[in-house]
Amino acid sequence: MRGLNVILGLLAAMVMAACSADWPQRLGYHAVQNAGQLQCQKAMSNDCERRQSYDAYQRERETMR
Protein backbone atom coordinates (compact mmCIF):
# COMPACT_ATOMS: atom_id res chain seq x y z
CA MET A 1 0.00 0.00 0.00
CA ARG A 2 2.81 2.40 0.84
CA GLY A 3 4.46 1.72 -2.51
CA LEU A 4 1.24 2.65 -4.28
CA ASN A 5 1.04 5.95 -2.37
CA VAL A 6 4.63 6.76 -3.35
CA ILE A 7 3.92 6.02 -7.01
CA LEU A 8 0.74 8.09 -6.96
CA GLY A 9 2.59 10.95 -5.28
CA LEU A 10 5.35 10.87 -7.89
CA LEU A 11 2.78 10.73 -10.68
CA ALA A 12 0.93 13.72 -9.24
CA ALA A 13 4.21 15.67 -8.96
CA MET A 14 5.05 14.92 -12.59
CA VAL A 15 1.62 16.04 -13.77
CA MET A 16 1.87 19.25 -11.77
CA ALA A 17 5.35 19.94 -13.17
CA ALA A 18 4.03 19.50 -16.69
CA CYS A 19 1.38 22.18 -16.18
CA SER A 20 2.06 25.71 -17.33
CA ALA A 21 4.49 27.50 -15.07
CA ASP A 22 2.98 30.92 -15.72
CA TRP A 23 -0.28 30.34 -13.83
CA PRO A 24 0.86 32.17 -10.66
CA GLN A 25 1.85 35.24 -12.68
CA ARG A 26 -1.36 35.07 -14.69
CA LEU A 27 -3.44 34.78 -11.52
CA GLY A 28 -1.63 37.71 -9.89
CA TYR A 29 -1.99 39.86 -13.00
CA HIS A 30 -5.74 39.25 -13.20
CA ALA A 31 -6.18 39.87 -9.48
CA VAL A 32 -4.49 43.28 -9.74
CA GLN A 33 -6.43 44.16 -12.90
CA ASN A 34 -9.75 43.18 -11.35
CA ALA A 35 -8.99 45.16 -8.20
CA GLY A 36 -8.26 48.24 -10.30
CA GLN A 37 -11.46 47.80 -12.29
CA LEU A 38 -13.50 47.38 -9.10
CA GLN A 39 -11.95 50.50 -7.61
CA CYS A 40 -12.79 52.46 -10.75
CA GLN A 41 -16.38 51.23 -10.71
CA LYS A 42 -16.74 52.03 -7.02
CA ALA A 43 -15.71 55.60 -7.80
CA MET A 44 -18.59 55.60 -10.30
CA SER A 45 -16.27 56.83 -13.00
CA ASN A 46 -17.55 56.86 -16.57
CA ASP A 47 -14.12 56.47 -18.08
CA CYS A 48 -13.02 53.11 -16.67
CA GLU A 49 -10.70 51.81 -19.32
CA ARG A 50 -10.80 48.27 -20.62
CA ARG A 51 -7.96 46.31 -19.12
CA GLN A 52 -5.32 44.60 -21.22
CA SER A 53 -5.38 40.79 -21.24
CA TYR A 54 -2.48 38.88 -19.75
CA ASP A 55 -1.51 37.49 -23.16
CA ALA A 56 -1.41 40.98 -24.69
CA TYR A 57 0.63 42.16 -21.70
CA GLN A 58 3.12 39.32 -22.20
CA ARG A 59 3.42 40.07 -25.95
CA GLU A 60 4.10 43.73 -25.16
CA ARG A 61 6.78 42.75 -22.64
CA GLU A 62 8.43 40.44 -25.18
CA THR A 63 8.64 43.22 -27.78
CA MET A 64 10.37 45.47 -25.22
CA ARG A 65 13.23 43.01 -24.76
Residue 63 pLDDT: 92
Q: Kindly report the pTM of this predicted structure.
A: 0.58
From first CA to last CA, the distance across the chain in angstroms is: 51
- Angle 55-61-63 from CA coordinates, rounded to 5°: 105
Residue 14 pLDDT: 61
How is the chain split into domains, by residue range? Answer: 21-65
Residue 18 pLDDT: 57
Please report the DSSP string for 8-61 in residue order.
HHHHHHHHHHHS-TTHHHHHHHHHHHHHHHHHHHHTT-S-PPPPPPHHHHHHHH
- Each residue's pLDDT, cut to its tens digit, for the chain (65 residues) gives 677 777 777 666 666 665 657 878 888 999 999 998 888 888 888 778 777 889 998 899 899 98
Tell me if residue 64 falls in helix, strand or coil: helix
